[in-house]
Amino acid sequence: MTYEAKLGGFADHIAQGGKVEAEDWMPDDYRRGVLKFIEMHANSEIMGALPERECLPMAPTLRRKMSLAAKIQDEVGHAQLLYRVAEDLGKSRDAMYQDLVNGRSKFHNVFHYPVFHWGDVAIIGWLIDGAALVTQAALLDSSYAPYTRVLKRICSEEQLHLRHGEHITMELASGTQAQRDMFQDALNRWWLPIIHFFGPKSNVAKDLLLRWKVKTRTNEDLRQEFLDRYVPKVLELGFSFPTPVPTRAESGQWLIKDEDIDWDPLDAIKRNEGPETERRLTTRRDIYQGHRWVREVLAEPAVHAA
């Protein structure tokens, strides 16, 4: 069978809602696109553990510290699951790790920013995990079947993270003025990065991942769902939004105009010039080096086995 005939069969399969397994034939651009997408997701989970790790000493009680530590552990577990799925597409986990720590591959924009206080934990757990859940739930119907299987588990854990973040938010919102100020300060800093998180408007004609149904919805569609779900909740708690301020349309939808979004900070992050990019990559590189002895011991044959 010619390449063109195989490609035609694959396109029909996808158009009819068919799924793809790792061992199935797939066009090279499908394999490359899915690998890059899942690798970026995996990188984001492991890099996402770093800002929250920096917040651990700020936990107000032992129970809060324990629950945050458990959440961080979940995020590292998500990375582990995703790297395994990506690995089956032909790139070793070590190669993916080398590319990450040397700045050759990407991770989500929100993990390039600093954290200052416990209000950041509320925003990360509630709004950033909330944004991630909107995008990840949309991927549950992705054409790449191994990805959807791990996403089922990831999404159920993310639901718990969301409840965790919501609980901390409610505590701050119903607390003292200082606690409310803490949440508002974090919201002021994180709002624009959260809007960027969904990416600029999708180019449907050119986006291969949309064409191959790896992604099932456009960036703007996902951002709209997030705004409609969370903007009313934030306002109900009596907090306000910095620029870009969402406005309510007659339809009831919460809108942010494209021209109100400053994309420069996101462009800087794409060049690895985010506020914390260098420091976070250095931390991750140091951790990787520090754990080298564990990998070496595990790779050795079990010489003492009887």
Instruction: Using CB under 5 A, list all residues that contact Fe ion.
Output: 45, 75, 78, 129, 158, 161
Tell me whether residue 22 or residue 160 sits nearer to Fe ion (CB atom): 160
Tell me whether residue 48 or residue 246 sits nearer to Fe ion (CB atom): 48
- Residue 261: its H or E element: none
Q: Look up residue 116 and give its two tokens.
A: 């200052």
Tell me whether residue 109 or residue 212 sits nearer to Fe ion (CB atom): 109
**Residue 181 to residue 110: CA distance in whole angstroms:** 21
Tell me whether residue 133 or residue 209 sits nearer to Fe ion (CB atom): 133
Q: Look up residue 293 and give its two tokens.
A: 């002895």
Read off φ and ψ for residue 18, nearest 5 degrees. -70, 155
* Best CA proximity match to 21, nearest among 140, 144, 114, 133: 144
Shortest CB 158 distance to Fe ion, Å:
5
Shortest CB 189 distance to Fe ion, Å:
19
* Best CA proximity match to 224, nearest among 204, 207, 249: 249
Shortest CB 215 distance to Fe ion, Å:
18
- Amino acid type, 282: T
Contact 101, 284 (CB under 8 A): yes
Query: Which residue do the tokens 């992705």 mark?
Result: 142
Contact 226, 217 (CB under 8 A): no
Shortest CB 58 distance to Fe ion, Å:
18
Tell me whether residue 51 or residue 246 sits nearer to Fe ion (CB atom): 51
Tell me whether residue 45 or residue 87 sits nearer to Fe ion (CB atom): 45
**Residue 105 to residue 98: CA distance in whole angstroms:** 9
Shortest CB 156 distance to Fe ion, Å:
11
Shortest CB 146 distance to Fe ion, Å:
17
Shortest CB 226 distance to Fe ion, Å:
15
Tell me whether residue 45 or residue 276 sits nearer to Fe ion (CB atom): 45
* Best CA proximity match to 49, nearest among 104, 100, 102: 100
Spatial neighbors of 32 by CB under 8 A, at least 6 apart, are none
